Structures are given as C-alpha cells and as structure tokens.
C-alpha cells in the first residue's frame, strides 16, 4: 500500500467521524436536557454513567457523562408525542437513578444529580484499550484486569509474583542476570510492556526488568489481548501489559510496609502524599533485597546461580490544576538495581523516567492532551577492587504525543493524534560501545469507539508509522462486540508490524570466543495479520469466557546459525503462524469465596531446514493452567481475614537442540524433553480497620525442583519459600 493511499485512509476515517450528525448542536425544533452526575458519598463527578431519555418504556436518546460528570442530550420534538418523559441514569458501581421531566417542549437544566454507591462493587475499569477510562465489559476488545485487591490477595514479594499468579501463560527464565519473559508463547519483543501507558527502555531479546516497580506501588495491571498496533505500535502484536501506578487523592496520606523472606531477602516501602487546593503530590521510596541462591536440579547434576540484587526506588508525582479546564502532571521516577556477580564485579542497572502531561478541556465533550516522556536505561559494571567502571549499555527512549479526544452522542468517542518516537543506544554489544545508534519515526493515529446501538459496539482505527528510510507502515484494526442478555460476543481483525530493534539491527557480540552473534542492518520489518474471536457469558456469580487468536507472520525475525556456528538475525522467507486458545471461568461460590480457573493453549511451530529436513525449533510450552481460590471474611466492623490458594501448571515440552561438530561443522539435531512443572502458592492476611495488615505466604508449596536446569525450562525458585509482610495506612 502506497504512502498516499495509507494516509488517505486515515484522513477519511477522521473526516467521516468528525462530520457525523452526532456533533450537531441544539436548534429549533429540539430541546436540550443537561446536568451533572455526582457521587452521593463524596460529591465527586461520576464519569461514564449511561444517561437515557425514555418516552414511556422506549429509549429515545442515549448519552454518557464526561470526565467531569456532565451530560447533554438533544431531544427532537414531535407534535404527537403524548407519553411522559423520564430520565434514567445507570452505572455499574452505583444504584440506578430515575426522574420524570415535567414538560416536553422546553430545555431542562437539572443541575447536580446524586447517585448512591452500590454496597458490593465487583466491577473493573480500564484505560489501556482506548486510552480512556471505561468499564472492561464496555470495550470491544478482551481485557483482563488485576486490581489492587487481587494484588494484595497474592501477597507478592515482587512484580514477578503478580504476573506469574495472575496472567495465564506467563513463563519467566533467567540468562546473564536478566529475566526473560514469554506470554502465551510470545517473547517480550512482541508485547507492549507499559508503565502508566508509556513505553519503557531497556527491553532486548525478550527481557524486561520487572524490578523497576515495587509491587506496593502498582494499583492495577491491565492486559489487552490481541494486536494493539492502532495505538501502541511495533511491540503490540501479542498484546499490551500496562502497569498502572498508585495515585493518592486524600488531603494527607502515609502508607508503608516491610517484609522478610526465608531466603534472606526483604522489602520496604514508604509513601507520603498531600492534597492542598489545586495541588496534589505523592512521593514514594522503597528498598528491597532480592536474595541470591543456588538453583539446583533434583539430583544435583546441574545448577545455576541466581544472583543477589539490592533495589532502591524513588519517585514523585505532582499534579496541578491551574483552572477547572486545565490539568498538569509531572512524574519523576528512578530505580537503581545493584547485582552482585562476585566479590570483584557488580552490575548496576539504573532507570530514570521523566514524564510531563497536560490536558486542556476545550468543552464538556472535547479535550486536548499533550505528553512528553523520556525513559533512560543505563547498565554499567563496577570493578570493586580496581575502582573502575565500564558502561555496558545505555538506552534512551523519548515519546511526544498530541492527542485530541472527542466524546460523541451516545457514549461514542474519537481519538486522533500525532506521535514522535526517538530512541538512541550505546552498548558494548554494538561496536564495543564506541558508536551510538538510533531510530526515530513519526506516527499518525486515529481510533473511534462507536456505540452503534445499546448492544452493538465497534472499535476501529488505523495507525501510520513513517520511518526515516521512507518506509510507511499502515496498521488498521477493527473489533466488534455484541451484547445479548448475559452474553458478550467479540470478533476482530488487526494488521500489525514489528520494526527491527536496534539490537537486531546492529548487535555484535562474542561468546567467550567460541561463536559470535550478529545483527543485520538489512532486516525487514515483520508484519502480522491477526484474527480474534471471544465469547463471554455471565449470570449472577458465575462468569465464563473463551477465545482464540490466529496470527500469520511474514518476514519473521529469528536467529540462525551459519556454517561456522555464528548466529545472525535474519528474516524467515514466507509465512509462519501462531494460534492461541484460552478459556476462563470464575464463580462467586458464596459471599467472600471465589473460585477461578484459566487455561491457555499455544501452538507456534518454527521450522529450520537442517540436513535437508524441516525441524521444529519452537520452545513454547503448549499448555498452561492457572487455578485460584480466594476467601474473605469480616467478623467485626474493623477486623477481617483473607486467604488464597493459587496453582499454576506449565506442560512439558520436547525441544530440538541444534549442535555443530567442531571439526566437520555439520549440524545435528538432539531432541530433549523438559518436564512440566507445577507452582503452588498460598497466602493469608489479617487486617484491622483496613489500615494495618499482616500477610504471610508460602511459595512453591510442593517444594518442586526441576530434573535439569536449562534455558526457559524450570521455576526460578529453589524450593518452598516462606515470607511475611506488615503494612499500614494512615
């Protein structure tokens, strides 16, 4: 598709929606009904409430409140209308509200309308899929939400615990002191990992530093399934994982925690915040020790050192509203991780994030948002006794975005924007850290969430990424959802692409002289066409869902060995594919007792021609099962207790290992079976007045140990591990 045609399609999308009749203003022959919806509990605005005007039992106009709680409905007057009019307001976390309107042919300014909160709120809100706060069932794409309550039930000692025991299909491995992650068979390269909705630096070869965030500073985790390239670009082929940090709005707040692990590690966290007039500030700090240990197989024949890490985190978030329509936010966060390789060498990982956001509310239905975000990753090696320091890796990712959000009649909304991305890298694995490499590109995107009817919703959009080598990639996406009684059905198509990373383009590294790994400046971007289907059914306390994604890759980037044993990144000729099936069930058995189960099947054949035969070299475990039983009980207005039992099982796999004869240089295939393994975790907590909580946990309850230790084949825990944590909130 040519650049002219690609940009033309985006312009057409924007013009069609902006010219929609839903933007029409009140005129002769119409009446306007307006008001604001607020919470009875704290008089704060209620956003995303559904506002309906009824004539008898028939809905004649439907709308939705904006971020400030305002709504505006336009009623076309009819001379023969005889039935009475009434206004109905509904919201999943509030009791329904209804009032009658006295006259048909006049404007109504209803002022503030107060909603009463429901006594039992089990609902979840997300921002990742549309960059706007919406209930997850009102978004056409499948979304999983791990809220703060679910996080606390896990009693995590690290962010890694949250992912392992919440997201089905997650597997972690360690190599070179760095954690590598796969999700439902996809490496981290294919997943957009975000912090507060923004890209982070330091990702390479399927790795991510999960120690950047303390689990105490995570409010929720949002997982969007399927390609998200319409908004999030190159790394979102498999989906989006957004770690949303905690925000505090009380006049004065103070929170803290301290924990200890049987292995000798500890966690500590302190947060203080205040709200004064138009200012809101929150400061946090944490200091953790990730204990080091020897990870051994059952018979002791193989082992691996898991290194000790000390992690210091400091951060501040300042929000300022100079006027009712303008809001500003400045986030500054720093994480320092010191890894003790041995008594002579320490590796130090520093991460610094500086984010500026501004929002200008142009009208009750229109806003303009600006963002600048800089994320720096810096790795250096300290030679303790020689008192010398070498820079091993420095990566800076900068993003600028200007986005216009428009709320349309009936709850629909349109987002259009421009982005600029700038990335630079200096690494000892690229020209011995003597040459800086960089990538920069521009983006035009548009996305429209269209409420076609109360039951039918369409989320569609497009993204055009323009790279300096005059490559324009057009990524359209469309997902349709249909609600009928207890059912929500979803289906969609997305075209995505993955531009080669700087490491894939310019990598050059020698493995102790035995072989080398090369990048490839001539790599082409991967493209992917993805189909998604999903069905969800819920009734009372029971919820069931199932879904599937099928992705067809073209020009997939992999590493291949040459005749000398060296490896280089190349594009696979032709097509490869991947299929993921999933199913979830949750059951609220009794008040306070919940049972949930998730299953994932991943099929990702990856073939390499060896000695004239096609050999599957995939390392994806096909089956994953996650079970969770939660119980909560309060026996006094101020005392409560909770307990959880969480189990995960990853199936076994046979991996075809490729070896090369040092003399003849001939390749040979050696199948090796890696057993499946279970992980079981139990937690219990006692809370007083929701202010003081004592939690205890036992990880790897079955004391599992692998029969061999290798790459991506075993749990990273050395056996059964007990931990305890005390937290307070003032």
Average pLDDT over residues 63-82: 74
Report pLDDT for 430: 82
Provide the token pair at 720: 């059964």
Region of poorest pLDDT, from 90-94, 212-216, 286-290, 520-524: 90-94
Q: What CATH number has the domain bearing residue 73? A: 2.60.40.10
Q: Does 254 score more than 50 pLDDT?
A: yes
Element (H, E) at 623: strand 623-634
CA 473 to chain centre: 23
Region of poorest pLDDT, from 130-144, 155-169, 284-298, 444-458: 130-144
Region of poorest pLDDT, from 105-114, 156-165, 271-280: 105-114
In a domain, 220, yes or no: no
In a domain, 85, yes or no: yes
Domain containing 330 equals 241-729
In a domain, 124, yes or no: no
Q: Does 722 score more than 90 pLDDT?
A: yes
* Helical spans, DSSP H, in 199-254: 229-232
Report pLDDT for 22: 40
Higher-confidence residue: 43 or 390? 390
Q: What is the pLDDT of residues 375-393, one digit of tens each?
A: 999 999 999 999 999 988 8
Q: What is the pLDDT of residues 558-567, one digit of tens each?
A: 887 776 667 8
Average pLDDT over residues 302-312: 90
Report pLDDT for 356: 97
Report pLDDT for 540: 81
Average pLDDT over residues 536-562: 89
Place of tokens 């059914």: 537
DSSP 15-33: HHHHT-GGGPPP-TTEEEE
Q: What proportion of the chain, given as a percentage, has pLDDT over 90?
A: 38
Average pLDDT over residues 457-465: 90
Q: Does 409 score more than 90 pLDDT?
A: no
Between CA 56 and CA 410 the distance in angstroms is 19
Report pLDDT for 674: 83
In a domain, 174, yes or no: no
Average pLDDT over residues 308-321: 96
pLDDT-based confidence at 501, cuts 50/70/90? confident
What 429-437 contacts at long range (C-beta under 8 Å, 24+ apart), as own/partner pairs, is 429/393, 429/503, 429/507, 429/508, 429/509, 430/502, 430/503, 430/506, 430/507, 430/508, 430/519, 431/506, 431/508, 433/391, 433/392, 437/502, 437/505, 437/506
Report pLDDT for 175: 67
Domain boundary among 86, 115, 144: 115
Buried b vs exposed e over 149-158: b needs ≥16 C-beta within 10 Å? ebbbbbbbbb
Contact, 52 vs 59, CB < 8 A?
Answer: yes
In a domain, 261, yes or no: yes
Region of poorest pLDDT, from 120-129, 386-395, 635-644: 120-129
Contact, 47 vs 66, CB < 8 A?
Answer: yes
Report pLDDT for 339: 95
Q: What is the pLDDT of residues 650-705, one digit of tens each?
A: 998 888 887 777 677 777 888 888 888 899 999 999 999 888 999 999 999 999 88
Q: Does 25 score more than 50 pLDDT?
A: no
Between CA 604 and CA 576 the distance in angstroms is 8
Provide the token pair at 676: 């499946």
Report pLDDT for 142: 82
How many domains would you assign to the chain? 2
Between CA 208 and CA 193 the distance in angstroms is 8
In a domain, 141, yes or no: no
In a shared domain, residues 108 and 248: no
In a shared domain, residues 245 and 109: no
Q: What is the pLDDT of residues 190-226, one digit of tens each?
A: 888 888 888 876 655 556 788 999 999 998 898 888 8
In a domain, 391, yes or no: yes
Mean confidence (pLDDT) of the chain: 84
Q: Does 552 score more than 80 pLDDT?
A: yes
Phi-psi region of 196 (alpha: psi -120 to 50; beta: other; left: phi over 0): left
Output phi, psi for 163, to 5 deg.
-70, -45
pLDDT-based confidence at 578, cuts 50/70/90? very high
Average pLDDT over residues 613-641: 88
DSSP 425-482: EEETTTGGGTS-EEEEEEEEEEEEEEE-SSSEEEEEEEEEEE-TTS-EEEEEEEEEEE
Place of tokens 């392992």: 164
Q: Does 26 score more than 50 pLDDT?
A: no
Q: Does 23 score more than 50 pLDDT?
A: no
Q: Does 136 score more than 60 pLDDT?
A: no
Report pLDDT for 17: 46
Report pLDDT for 688: 92
In a shared domain, residues 586 and 725: yes
Domain boundary among 56, 90, 115: 115
Q: Does 429 score more than 90 pLDDT?
A: no
Report pLDDT for 338: 96
Output phi, psi for 649, to 5 deg.
-130, 130
Higher-confidence residue: 240 or 281? 281
Q: What CATH number has the domain bearing residue 426? A: 2.40.170.20
Report pLDDT for 176: 63
Average pLDDT over residues 355-373: 93
Output phi, psi for 232, to 5 deg.
-115, -5
Domain boundary among 115, 133, 154: 115
In a domain, 663, yes or no: yes
Report pLDDT for 551: 93
**Cα 334–Cα 336–Cα 339 angle in degrees, nearest 5:** 165
């Amino acid at each position: 598709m040519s650049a002219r045609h690609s940009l033309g399609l985006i312009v057409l999308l924007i013009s069609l929606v902006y010219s929609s009749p839903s933007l029409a203003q009140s005129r002769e022959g119409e009446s306007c009904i307006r008001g604001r919806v607020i919470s009875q509990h704290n008089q704060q605005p209620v956003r995303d409430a559904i506002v309906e005007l009824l004539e008898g039992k028939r809905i004649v106009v439907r709308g939705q409140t904006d971020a400030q709680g305002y709504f505006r409905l336009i009623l076309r007057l009819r001379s023969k209308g005889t039935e009475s009019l009434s206004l109905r307001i509904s919201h999943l976390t509030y009791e329904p509200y209804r009032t009658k309107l006295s006259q048909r042919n006049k404007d109504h300014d209803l002022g503030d309308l107060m909603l009463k909160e429901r006594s039992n709120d089990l609902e979840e809100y997300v921002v990742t899929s549309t960059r706007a706060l919406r209930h997850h069932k009102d978004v056409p794409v499948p979304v999983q939400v791990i809220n703060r309550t679910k996080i606390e039930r896990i009693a995590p000692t690290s962010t890694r615990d949250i992912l392992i025991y919440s997201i089905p299909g997650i597997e972690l491995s360690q190599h070179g002191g760095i954690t590598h992650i796969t999700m439902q068979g996809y490496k981290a390269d294919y997943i957009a990992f975000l912090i507060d909705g923004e890209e982070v630096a330091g990702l390479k070869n399927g790795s991510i530093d999960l120690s950047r965030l303390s689990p105490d500073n995570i409010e929720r985790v949002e997982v969007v399934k399927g390609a998200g390239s319409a908004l999030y670009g190159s790394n979102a082929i498999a989906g989006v994982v957004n770690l949303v940090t905690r925000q505090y709005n009380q006049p004065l707040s103070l929170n803290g925690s301290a924990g200890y692990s049987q292995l000798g590690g500890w966690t500590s966290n302190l947060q203080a915040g205040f709200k004064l007039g138009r200012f809101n500030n929150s400061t946090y700090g944490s200091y953790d020790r990730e204990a080091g240990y020897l990870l051994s197989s059952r018979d002791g024949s193989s082992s691996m050192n898991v290194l000790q890490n000390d992690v210091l985190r400091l951060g501040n978030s300042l929000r300022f509203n100079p006027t009712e329509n303008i809001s500003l936010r400045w986030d500054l966060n720093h994480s320092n991780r010191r890894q003790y390789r041995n008594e002579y060498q320490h590796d130090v990982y520093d991460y610094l994030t500086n984010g500026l956001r501004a929002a200008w509310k142009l009208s009750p239905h229109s806003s303009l948002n600006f963002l600048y975000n800089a994320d720096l990753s810096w790795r250096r090696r300290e030679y303790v006794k020689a008192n010398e320091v070498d820079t091993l890796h420095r990566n800076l990712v900068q993003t600028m975005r200007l986005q216009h959000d428009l709320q349309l009649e009936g709850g629909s909304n349109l987002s259009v924007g421009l982005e600029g991305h700038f990335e630079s890298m200096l690494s000892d694995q690229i020209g011995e850290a003597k040459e800086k490499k960089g990538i920069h590109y521009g983006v035009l995107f548009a996305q429209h969430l269209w409420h076609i009817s109360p039951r039918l919703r369409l989320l569609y959009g497009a993204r055009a990424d323009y790279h300096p080598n005059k490559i324009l990639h057009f990524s359209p996406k469309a997902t349709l959802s249909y609600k009928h009684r207890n059912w929500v059905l979803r289906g969609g198509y997305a075209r995505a692409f993955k531009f080669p990373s700087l490491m894939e383009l310019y990598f050059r590294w020698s493995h102790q002289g035995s072989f080398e790994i090369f990048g490839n400046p001539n790599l082409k971007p991967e493209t992917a066409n993805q189909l998604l289907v999903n069905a969800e059914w819920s009734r009372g306390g029971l919820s069931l869902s199932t879904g599937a994604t099928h992705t067809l890759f073209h020009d997939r980037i992999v590493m291949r060995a040459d005749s000398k044993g060296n490896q280089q990144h190349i594009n696979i000729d032709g097509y490869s594919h991947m299929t993921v099936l999933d199913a979830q069930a949750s059951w609220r058995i009794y008040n306070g007792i919940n049972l949930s189960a998730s299953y994932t099947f991943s099929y990702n054949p990856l073939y390499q021609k060896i000695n004239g035969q096609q050999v599957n070299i995939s390392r994806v475990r096909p089956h994953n099962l996650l079970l969770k039983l939660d119980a909560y009980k309060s026996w006094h207005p101020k005392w409560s207790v909770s307990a959880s039992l969480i189990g995960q099982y990853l199936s076994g796999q046979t991996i075809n290992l490729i070896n090369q004869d040092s003399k003849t240089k001939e390749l040979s295939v050696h199948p090796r079976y890696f057993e499946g393994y279970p992980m079981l975790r139990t937690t219990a907590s006692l809370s007083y007045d929701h202010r003081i909580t004592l939690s205890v946990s036992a990880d790897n309850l079955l004391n599992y140990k692998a029969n061999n230790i290798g790459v991506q084949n075993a749990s990273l825990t050395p056996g059964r591990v007990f931990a305890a944590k005390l937290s307070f909130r003032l």
